[in-house]
Amino acid sequence: MLHPEHCLSSAVVVLLSLPGLLLAQTPTAPPPVDTPAATEPAKTESTSTKSDPALLIGKPPPAIHVAKWLKGEPLTMLEPGKVWVIDFWATWCGPCKAAIPHLTKLAREHAGKIEVVGISISERQKDPTDTAYIELVQQFVDKQGERMDYRVAVDTADKQMHATWFKPTGTGGIPTAWIIGQDGLVAWTGIGSPAVIERIVTALLEGSFDPKVEAQQQHEQEASAKLRAEADAKKARANSKGADDKLPGYGDAMQRGDLAAALAALEAAFAADPGLEASAYQQKFMLLMQRNKPEEVNAYVRQILAKHKGNDDMISFASACIVGCDEETPRFDPTLALQAAQKSLAAAKDNSRWQQFARWRYGWALYHTGDKGKAIDQVKAAREAIAALKAEIDFEDLDMHCEDALRVFQK
């Protein structure tokens, strides 16, 4: 699903990869989130701009601008009269790869009525002009063969599809899908399990899809999440066979892609045993960010800062979640992000890998609160340390991210 090693507002963290749930964050390279514990799950990236996905519904989709069509006939327009599923994915994203056969099955079962298009985004680049990733994605697609039996394209080096399609959804994670109805207008966007995508596509084909009904259904599912979580927990205990399941119900809910029930299961487990939170807080952050409700993430960060003042790992992860690295307009509370970034940097050891990641995030937090001078100083300090320590420490793409940040700060 998701993980840290960069910026999580930019991201979430791929900690588990349960087959039923399609979640993973996007990176620009993938982005950097370093924590004191140096856990290295998969990487992810940043959603910029405050987005309201509801405003996309009923509107024409953006134009398609890709670097190359890797499979199938190139598209010049989305033909009306069909349902279109535009799937944003990446070669490094496990859940995206798990979704491929489901999308192929959907396309084959409704051939002539729906079209699936896969758009690869956020692939690793050495710098904004690097296009080597295009051939790597091509090789991946070629190896998939008939397993990936639909049109596939790859984003431009300057990330036009990422900017015009992915970011406005506000999901912050991939796979993210757009579903376009027969009328050529956006019917739905978001991160959904194969079952959700199939349900919406089927309703559109039958002429029964109503965005308000879909929103109401999702609201009702969230409202009954606690009951579903309790049922999952009861089932987990009955089938545990003596195993020590500390998060009963969480696995079952994740398996079927039920984010609300998974979150309810975590909260019930934390309430029963507060000590569990220190080992499972990343899962909660991941779920909150995938729900795409910034106010919930802000609230949890405040809770972490108040209840776990001495836990550097938790504070660093919280900082990675809410500092918008590469975001002109932050999604989360900028003052809170600054507070978390300050604490994360203060806890870092001098001349450590973690310190430079913390400086980079702190620079962005300063920028978002209006202190461009200090923001530039922090990121320059990170670059100087990276240059001095690169022979002994692998900073991955952090220097490139710092260079990009300075370009923004010094405008």
> Tell me, what CATH number does 90's domain have?
3.40.30.10
Partners of 117 in the β-ladder: 86, 151
Are 402 and 308 found together in one domain? Answer: yes
pLDDT at 15: 34
Higher pLDDT, 232 or 132: 132
pLDDT over 70, % of the chain: 85
39, with CB counted inside 10 A (0-12, 13-18, 19+), is middle
Q: Is 142 helix (H, G, I), strand (E, B) or coil?
A: helix
Residue 102 in any domain: the answer is yes
Residue 256 in any domain: the answer is no
Strand pairing report for 176-180 and 83-89: antiparallel
Q: Which two tokens stand for residue 26?
A: 């996007």
Chosen domain end from 209, 237, 254: 209
Are 65 and 201 found together in one domain? Answer: yes
**Residue 407: CB atoms within 10 Å:** 10
Please give the average per-residue pLDDT across 358-376, as a whole number: 97
Q: In angstroms, what CA-CA distances link 377 with 237, 326, 381, 403? A: 54, 17, 6, 12
Are 201 and 320 found together in one domain? Answer: no
Residue 110 in any domain: the answer is yes
The mean-pLDDT minimum among 132-141, 146-155, 222-231 falls in 222-231
Residue 3, φ and ψ in degrees, nearest 5: -170, 180
Distance, CA of 260 to CA of 193 (rounded, Å): 13
Are 193 and 307 found together in one domain? Answer: no
Are 162 and 287 found together in one domain? Answer: no
On whether the CB atoms of residues 385 and 343 are closer than 8 A, the answer is: no
Higher pLDDT, 42 or 276: 276
Are 201 and 293 found together in one domain? Answer: no
Q: Where are the beta strands (DSSP E) in 161-214?
A: 176-180, 186-190
Residue 259 has pLDDT above 60, yes or no: yes
Q: Is 65 helix (H, G, I), strand (E, B) or coil?
A: coil
Residue-wise pLDDT for 180-210, tens only, equals 999 999 999 988 778 889 989 999 999 998 8
Chosen domain end from 209, 236, 260: 209
Q: Is 310 helix (H, G, I), strand (E, B) or coil?
A: coil
pLDDT at 205: 95
Q: How much helix, strand and coil, in percent to the nearest 5, is found in the chain?
A: 50, 10, 40
- Output the DSSP codes for 236-298: HHHT-TT---SSTTHHHHHHTT-HHHHHHHHHHHHHH-GGGHHHHHHHHHHHHHHTT-HHHHH
pLDDT at 90: 94
> Which residue in this structure is represented by tokens 């089932």?
235
Are 298 and 205 found together in one domain? Answer: no
The mean predicted confidence, pLDDT, of the chain is 83
Confidence of residue 7 (pLDDT cuts 50, 70, 90): low
Domain extent for 204: 53-209
Confidence of residue 380 (pLDDT cuts 50, 70, 90): very high
Are 74 and 172 found together in one domain? Answer: yes
Residue 2 in any domain: the answer is no
158, with CB counted inside 10 A (0-12, 13-18, 19+), is exposed
pLDDT at 313: 93
- CB-based contacts of 30: which residues, under 8 Å, 6+ apart? 5, 6, 11, 42, 43, 44, 45, 92, 122, 124, 397
Residue 245 in any domain: the answer is no
- CATH of residue 377: 1.25.40.10
Are 195 and 94 found together in one domain? Answer: yes
Q: What is the pTM assigned to this prediction? A: 0.67
Distance, CA of 361 to CA of 342 (rounded, Å): 9
On whether the CB atoms of residues 115 and 84 are closer than 8 A, the answer is: yes
Residue 96 in any domain: the answer is yes
On whether the CB atoms of residues 22 and 98 are closer than 8 A, the answer is: yes
Partners of 176 in the β-ladder: 88
Chosen domain end from 209, 224, 251: 209
Are 149 and 297 found together in one domain? Answer: no
Tally of domains in the chain:
2
163-168 long-range CB contacts below 8 Å, 24 or more apart? 164/62, 164/63, 164/65, 165/61, 165/62, 165/86, 165/88, 165/119, 166/26, 166/47, 166/88, 166/121, 167/47, 167/48, 167/49, 167/51, 168/49, 168/51, 168/53, 168/56, 168/62
Are 301 and 398 found together in one domain? Answer: yes
Are 95 and 179 found together in one domain? Answer: yes
Residue 37 in any domain: the answer is no
Residue 259 in any domain: the answer is no
- CB-based contacts of 219: which residues, under 8 Å, 6+ apart? none
